[in-house]
């Protein structure tokens, strides 16, 4: 809130009167927009959410395309590619050494 020169209360409020108009603070744009630019109680305007969702869909489509191009390689070859430690459910077993700086991670 300090970066945007807005008090603590107003960015979190559902409705704020700005210049006599009912508005809400958009977390993505860091600006106030009219309520009609938001879906229900969301904190990001539709325009920014649409861009975010488009990027998510694009990344999902790309990862599915990569996966489908590997389908013909067979499961055995895939196990060899992924360090040979895939269990019967397709999960990868990874060992983290105690002196490693990467103790918390998530594979998607």
What local confidence, expressed as pLDDT, does residue 93 receive?
57
Helices and strands (H and E) in the chain: how many: 2, 3
Q: Which two tokens stand for residue 89?
A: 């459910």
Domain boundaries in the chain? 10-73
Q: What is the pLDDT of residues 5-50, one digit of tens each?
A: 788 888 889 999 989 999 999 999 999 999 999 999 999 999 999 9
Q: What is the pLDDT of residues 70-96, one digit of tens each?
A: 554 444 444 333 344 556 666 655 555
Determine how many CB atoms are found less than 10 A away from the CB of residue 46.
14
What local confidence, expressed as pLDDT, does residue 15 receive?
94
**What fold is seen in the domain 10-73?**
4.10.1100
How far apart are the two ends of the chain, measured CA to CA in Å? 32
Note the helical H segments in 21-102.
46-69, 75-81
Q: What is the pLDDT of residues 50-64, one digit of tens each?
A: 998 998 898 887 777
CB distance 25 to 10 below 8 Å: yes
Task: Read off the pTM.
Answer: 0.52
What local confidence, expressed as pLDDT, does residue 63 receive?
77
What's 51's DSSP letter? Answer: H
Determine how many CB atoms are found less than 10 A away from the CB of residue 21.
11
């Amino acid at each position: 809130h300090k970066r945007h020169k807005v008090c603590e209360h107003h960015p979190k409020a559902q409705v704020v009167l700005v210049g006599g108009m009912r508005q809400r603070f958009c977390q993505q744009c860091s600006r106030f927009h009219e309520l009609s630019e938001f879906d229900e109680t969301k904190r990001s305007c539709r325009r920014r959410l649409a861009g975010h969702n488009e990027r998510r869909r694009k990344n999902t489509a790309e990862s599915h395309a990569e996966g489908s191009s590997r389908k013909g390689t067979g499961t055995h070859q895939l196990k060899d590619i992924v360090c040979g430690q895939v269990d019967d459910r397709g999960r990868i077993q990874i060992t983290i050494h105690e002196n490693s700086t990467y103790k918390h991670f998530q594979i998607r």
